[in-house]
Amino acid sequence: MSRFLGEVTAIAGGQSFKLRLDMLAMANLEDRWGENVLQVMADIEGGKRSKMFRNLIDVVEVCLMRHHPDAGEMVAADILSEDPGVVDKLFSAASPKASEASAAAAGK
């Protein structure tokens, strides 16, 4: 297995937040969704997900936990609203191969 760790800085409400996508974040997402995270992301990319916004907010919220444990879904939603591409940036930072695989699975 290749290295899987990425950090991205995001701004919401004029405040800076550091988001971290790592194996713990992936495990937390699997626990929340009960599904393979990369498949969920591929389904989002392919427009095959009915709860896409909830899934994206979950990703940002989980990625806030390491550096901002008190930030919750409202902060996550604010970040996502200000930067809708933040989830793609996180996956690209964590593993360029994983983000390519997600795009390939979505047919891009």
pLDDT at 95: 84
Its pTM surpasses 0.95: no
Amino acid letter at 103? A
Q: Are 47 and 96 in contact (CB under 8 A)?
A: no
Nearest CA among 75, 92, 105 for reference residue 15: 75
Longest distance between any two alpha carbons in the chain, whole Å: 37
Phi, psi of 4 (to 5 degrees): -140, 95
* 64-105 pLDDT, tens digit each: 999 999 999 999 999 999 999 999 999 999 987 654 544 544
Q: Delimit the domains of the chain by residue range.
A: 6-105
Beta strands per DSSP E along the chain: 6-12, 15-21
